[in-house]
């Protein structure tokens, strides 16, 4: 049986940008369940010129490994509840912050698939449907406060990219993870809506259970990739939608009307903090509606120091091991 695990990255804004308070939240999360979150959480930071907009990027939590999709979704719900319990900031699962242009400061949902004998077949079959898979959670419509398209993160992020000849090169949309021995889908944006993630996982399970090898068609995907980032579902991929629906049922509405469209509309109607509060409300409570935000930007140096001492320092051995395994 194929197995599945999810790594979910989210921004925690205070209320417009992430700050080093995010490290403090991670320290609280680690203290809440050290046996689990020592290896099932992570911190991310901006790089290069993007540091001018702030050092802190997203935080990451991951699930256990599951064969059953509903068990996986329930696990993700628990992880979200844990993050919600330790955070007083706005939890914002989007691919890229709406008001800046920072390609190294992005968040994603990474999906690992294991438990299959023929990993090359799984890899090729996922490549076959790759033009459709990101559509379930596309959620990065803005750059610098202006509309870009469906996913600026997918278009510009340093951490993903077109498919190359070596499946183990890390910063591609789909890879073989040397550290975990899984096939890792890296191109999907995070989103608050668990139902979208549930449908995506059901689709991935159906693909993983195929007993035939499909044509990967890497050139087709790479040629269409920029158009997918901007427009989402394309006329050129209608055949793939029909083929995918022949192996598992899902509503086409979920890929025609994206989470990115929903976020764009909310941003235009309610502004930056209003949109972030709606996403936070969806993440915490399953209700995508803006709520009143009374918090203001708080000094974070002390919280950053506490977070660094309570989270980053104890995990240095794990970071070293992880780096060696991924190199």
Q: Model confidence at 313, in pLDDT bands (50, 70, 90)?
A: confident
Q: Model confidence at 324, in pLDDT bands (50, 70, 90)?
A: low
Distance from C-alpha of 201 to C-alpha of 181, rounded to nearest angstrom: 19
Distance from C-alpha of 75 to C-alpha of 61, rounded to nearest angstrom: 11
Q: Report pLDDT for 302.
A: 85
Burial class of 53 by CB neighbour count within 10 A (0 to 12, 13 to 18, 19+): middle
Neighbouring C-beta atoms of residue 88, cutoff 10 Å: 11
Q: How would you label 65-77 residue by residue, b for 16+ Cβ within 10 Å and e otherwise?
A: bbeebeebbebbe
| Contact criterion met (CB below 8 Å) for 267 and 152 | no
pLDDT, tens digit (0-9, with 9 covering 90-100), for 101-149: 999 999 999 999 999 999 999 999 999 999 999 999 999 999 999 999 9
Q: Model confidence at 85, in pLDDT bands (50, 70, 90)?
A: very high
| Contact criterion met (CB below 8 Å) for 163 and 172 | yes
Q: Report pLDDT for 304.
A: 84
Which is higher by pLDDT, 163 or 297?
A: 163
Domains and CATH numbers, the chain: 3-326 (3.30.590.20)
Q: Model confidence at 295, in pLDDT bands (50, 70, 90)?
A: low
Distance from C-alpha of 5 to C-alpha of 112, rounded to nearest angstrom: 5
Distances (CA, A) of 58 to 22, 74, 190, 219: 8, 22, 11, 32
Supply the mean pLDDT for the chain.
Answer: 95
Q: Report pLDDT for 315.
A: 86
Report residue 73 as tokens. Answer: 């979704």
Choose among 94, 27, 71: nearest CA to 275. Answer: 94
Whose tokens are 């698939």? That residue is 113
Distance from C-alpha of 175 to C-alpha of 173, rounded to nearest angstrom: 7
Partners of 59 in the β-ladder: 10, 43
Q: Model confidence at 316, in pLDDT bands (50, 70, 90)?
A: confident
Choose among 157, 162, 171, 152: nearest CA to 232. Answer: 152
In degrees, to the nearest 5, what angle opens at C-alpha 135 toward C-alphas 43 and 168?
55
Q: Report pLDDT for 80.
A: 98
Burial class of 20 by CB neighbour count within 10 A (0 to 12, 13 to 18, 19+): buried
| Contact criterion met (CB below 8 Å) for 137 and 189 | yes
Distance from C-alpha of 263 to C-alpha of 143, rounded to nearest angstrom: 13
Distance from C-alpha of 285 to C-alpha of 29, rounded to nearest angstrom: 19
Q: Provide the percentage of residues in the chain whose pLDDT is more than 70.
A: 96
CA dihedral 60, 283, 56, 266 (to 10 degrees): 140
Choose among 260, 317, 286: nearest CA to 138. Answer: 260
Report residue 317 as tokens. Answer: 């051995």
């Amino acid at each position: 049986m194929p197995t599945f695990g999810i790594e979910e990255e989210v921004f925690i804004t205070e209320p417009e940008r992430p700050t080093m308070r995010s490290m403090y939240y991670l320290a609280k999360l680690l203290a809440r369940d050290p046996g689990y979150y020592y290896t099932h959480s992570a911190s991310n930071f901006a790089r290069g010129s993007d540091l001018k907009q702030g050092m802190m990027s997203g935080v990451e939590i991951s699930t256990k490994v599951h064969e059953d999709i509903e068990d996986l979704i329930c696990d993700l719900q628990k992880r979200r509840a844990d993050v919600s319990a330790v955070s007083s900031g706005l939890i914002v699962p989007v691919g890229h912050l709406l008001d800046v242009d920072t390609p190294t400061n992005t968040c994603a949902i990474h999906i690992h698939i294991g438990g299959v004998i023929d990993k090359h077949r799984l890899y090729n079959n996922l490549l076959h449907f790759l033009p459709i898979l990101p559509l379930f959670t596309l959620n990065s419509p803005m750059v610098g406060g202006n509309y870009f398209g469906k996913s600026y993160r997918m278009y510009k992020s340093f951490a993903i990219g077109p498919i190359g000849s070596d499946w183990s090169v890390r910063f591609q949309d789909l890879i073989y993870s040397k550290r975990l021995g899984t096939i890792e889908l890296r191109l999907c944006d995070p989103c608050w809506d668990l139902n979208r993630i549930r449908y995506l996982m059901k689709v991935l399970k159906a693909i993983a259970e195929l007993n035939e090898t499909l044509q990967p068609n890497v050139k087709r995907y790479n040629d269409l990739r920029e158009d997918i980032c901007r427009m989402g579902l394309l006329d050129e991929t209608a055949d793939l939608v029909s083929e995918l629906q022949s192996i598992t049922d899902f509503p086409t509405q979920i890929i025609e009307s994206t989470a990115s469209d929903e976020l764009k509309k909310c941003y235009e109607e309610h502004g930056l903090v209003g949109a972030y509060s709606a996403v936070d409300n969806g993440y915490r409570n399953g209700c995508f509606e803006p709520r009143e935000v009374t918090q203001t930007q708080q000094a974070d140096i002390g919280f950053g120091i506490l977070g660094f001492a309570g989270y980053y320092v104890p995990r240095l051995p794990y970071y070293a091991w992880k780096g060696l395994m991924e190199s």
